[in-house]
Amino acid sequence: MVRHPPSPARGLPPAASQPLNDSAPGCGVAGAAPPDVRVARERLEAEGLTVERGDRQLLHGLALVVESGQAIELTGPNGCGKTTLLRVLAGLCLADTGSVRWCGSPIAEVRPEWHAALAWLGHLDGLKAELTAFDNLALEAGVSAPAALHALAQVGLAAAAEVEAGRLSAGQRRRLALARVLLSARRIWLLDEPFTALDVDGRALVRRLMIEHVTAGGMLVYSNHHDEGIGLARRLALPPPIEIGANPIEIGEQPT
């Protein structure tokens, strides 16, 4: 079954895009510099992850590694554990067995550093419906007006800056949530179905921003059920869940 982490993890709310901690260092490097000036040894790795939910096993012995300038695309049928895996990596829930490490240390032991490195985009957009698109960035994300306007332009929402988030379409809200990820300047993005609710142009825009993040030295793990992902990502296909008692399948990349 999926277990929730101890109380320190409550600093990471399961909203859509959460820049977590602006001041803590990551791997000995101060926290707010752009991804392309980060040290190359930054590394997220998972090993031996097993997750059971009820009478189903979603993950068994899963391993993966992602470093600066790398991306992993999670694929597989509905219910196979893509969201669960991302939540385990983020520290939002615990696996039954296995470990998740940031720069060689368990994330529970370096939580401030991990939170300072991580931007999370979940199924929920985490926006304030009564605030405008601009205010969701300038007030909620705590950034300057020029930075907020630039981020809106990056996601194609410059003309909607003064529109309340509750009046935006689902695709526009998804773009606005991604703008918060951009503004966080975090090195690793964990994105759960980032193309959800987006039209063809929106998916192309998000793919471009993801590629720019990775080629600038950032890290990315995202789930996807669309045909088109980003070509530079390694694909990790999760199998369907298995009934407890059946022969499990070990999957994933072995850490080096």
- CA dist 252 and 48 (Å) reads 9
On the question of pLDDT at 13 being above 60, the answer is no
Please give the pLDDT value at position 22.
32
Minimum mean pLDDT among 50-59, 85-94, 105-114: which range?
Answer: 50-59
Q: What percent of the chain has pLDDT over 70?
A: 79
Largest CA distance in the chain: 57
| Mean pLDDT of all residues in 6-34 | 39
**104: Cβ–Cβ under 8 A, 6 or more apart, which residues?**
43
Beta strands in the chain (DSSP E): 43-53, 56-67, 71-75, 97-102, 105-106, 118-121, 188-191, 219-223, 234-237, 242-243
On the question of pLDDT at 49 being above 80, the answer is yes
| Mean pLDDT of all residues in 22-50 | 59
Query: pLDDT category, 5, cuts 50, 70, 90?
Result: low
231: DSSP letter: T
pTM of the complete model: 0.81
Please give the pLDDT value at position 225.
83
Please give the pLDDT value at position 244.
76
On the question of pLDDT at 116 being above 90, the answer is yes
Please give the pLDDT value at position 54.
84
On the question of pLDDT at 19 being above 90, the answer is no
For residue range 234-252, what is the model confidence (pLDDT) as tens digits? 999 999 988 876 555 555 5
Q: What is the mean pLDDT of the chain?
A: 84
| Mean pLDDT of all residues in 61-78 | 96
Q: Which CATH class is domain 16-34+41-243?
A: alpha beta
On the question of pLDDT at 72 being above 70, the answer is yes
Query: pLDDT category, 128, cuts 50, 70, 90?
Result: very high
For residue range 180-235, what is the model confidence (pLDDT) as tens digits? 999 999 999 999 999 999 999 999 999 999 999 999 999 999 999 876 789 999 99
Where are the alpha helices (H) located in the chain, listed in sequence order?
A: 82-90, 111-117, 133-135, 145-154, 170-184, 200-215
Check residues 249 and 129 and name the one with the higher pLDDT: 129
153 to 147, 178, 205, 213: CA distances (angstroms): 10, 12, 11, 16
- The position carrying tokens 């001041």 is 23
| Mean pLDDT of all residues in 150-161 | 98
